[in-house]
């Protein structure tokens, strides 16, 4: 029987002990995602390089086998201020802390130590792929006239796939998103200057390293280097001069607010981002736009950026 490509189920749950299957369930850990792709057996094939009396191909040994899963999740709040969104565990698996202030807010920010991990189940028809010890990277994408997305890349330790009974995940905790528009995204400022924005992407820049040694195998986040890419309408240099800012290594603040009602307002705040050299000018509908690159810089540490839901 052919397997239907669109018949996909994704479950994810935080692990209590690294690489110990957290056994996510359909009732509590379903993930509403788009554009799921799986590479089930990444790694290397080492040739045996045997000396044999005839010509011919050599056998090989698979080593350092792991899996990679990519997918997007719509960026929307839980609908209740102070209640974590359903995608919260996915952010936490990307070296991000979650801080809940009851009835008020949920804030995400980078952390350097004690990184959490996930067990992820991916089913296509009845074939189940399991990633344990999974950690990843995320890009937060606000693009005008589109849905805001959290774009995840996850790496996990390989487990042999199996045939399982299909489940029906509960996905009601995932709320409908608001498109990025003038009305729905009321605030975007760079260096305190309101600008007309086409897009903004914050890449968390996690260095995710599969590490395979005798006595220890795992997926580690060994470093991070966040980056911001944004496209804005050009303004007179007296209003904002990114060329001088880049030459002077100027740090600027970035602030974006998306959403209108309590429980569904997302504020992306970057207190200090160094302007990089502008790469050129772009023509969009015969309007000059600047593609700008910036690097978020820590102040006291683990404060390069924050995403706060209120």
pLDDT in tens, the chain (310 residues): 788 888 999 999 999 999 999 999 999 999 999 999 999 999 999 999 999 899 988 889 999 999 999 999 999 999 999 999 999 999 999 999 999 999 999 999 999 999 999 999 999 999 999 999 999 999 999 999 999 999 999 999 999 999 999 999 999 999 999 999 999 999 999 999 999 999 999 999 999 999 999 999 999 999 999 999 999 999 999 999 999 999 999 999 999 999 999 999 999 999 999 999 999 999 999 999 999 999 999 999 999 999 999 9
pLDDT for position 114 = 97
- Which H helix or E strand runs over 133? strand 127-143
Characterize the bridge pairing of strands 193-194 and 187-190.
antiparallel
Non-local CB neighbours of 271 within 8 Å, separated by 6+ positions: 253, 299, 303
Characterize the bridge pairing of strands 266-275 and 251-258.
antiparallel
Residue 155: how many CA atoms within 13 Å on its side-chain side? 18
Tokens of 52: 């044999």
Report DSSP state, residue 30: B
Tally the residues of the chain: 310
Phi, then psi, of 90 in degrees rounded to 5: -65, -40
Tokens of 297: 């810089």
The pTM of this model reads: 0.96
Q: In this structure, are residues 239 and 193 in contact, taking their beta carbons and an 8 Å threshold? A: yes
Non-local CB neighbours of 43 within 8 Å, separated by 6+ positions: 62, 63, 64, 65, 66, 158
């Amino acid at each position: 029987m052919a397997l239907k490509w669109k018949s996909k189920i994704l479950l994810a749950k935080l692990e209590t002990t690294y690489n110990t299957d957290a056994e996510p369930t359909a009732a509590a850990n379903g993930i509403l995602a788009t554009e799921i792709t799986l590479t089930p057996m990444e790694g290397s094939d080492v040739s045996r390089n045997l000396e044999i009396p005839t010509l011919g191909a050599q056998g090989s040994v698979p080593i350092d086998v792991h899996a990679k899963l990519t997918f997007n999740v719509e960026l929307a709040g839980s609908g209740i201020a102070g209640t974590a969104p359903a995608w919260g565990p996915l952010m936490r698996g990307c070296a991000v802390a979650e801080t809940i202030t009851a009835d008020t807010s949920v804030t995400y920010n980078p952390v350097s130590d004690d990184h959490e991990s996930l067990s992820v189940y991916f089913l296509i028809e009845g074939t189940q792929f399991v990633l344990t010890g999974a950690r990843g990277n995320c890009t937060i994408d606000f693009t005008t006239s589109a849905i805001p997305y959290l774009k995840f890349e996850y790496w996990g330790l390989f487990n042999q796939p199996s045939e399982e009974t299909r489940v029906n995940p509960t996905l009601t905790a995932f709320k409908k998103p608001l498109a990025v528009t003038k009305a729905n995204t009321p605030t975007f400022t760079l260096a305190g200057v309101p600008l007309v924005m086409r897009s903004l992407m914050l890449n968390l820049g996690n260095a995710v390293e599969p590490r395979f040694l005798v006595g220890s195998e795992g997926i580690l986040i060994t470093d991070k280097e966040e980056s911001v890419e944004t496209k804005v309408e050009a303004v007179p240099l007296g209003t904002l001069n990114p060329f001088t800012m880049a030459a002077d290594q100027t740090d600027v603040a970035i602030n974006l607010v998306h959403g209108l009602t309590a429980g569904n307002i997302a504020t992306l705040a970057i207190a200090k981002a160094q302007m990089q050299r502008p790469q050129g000018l772009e023509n969009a509908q015969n309007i000059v736009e600047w593609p700008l690159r910036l690097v978020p810089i820590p102040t006291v540490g683990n404060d390069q950026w924050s995403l706060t839901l209120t």
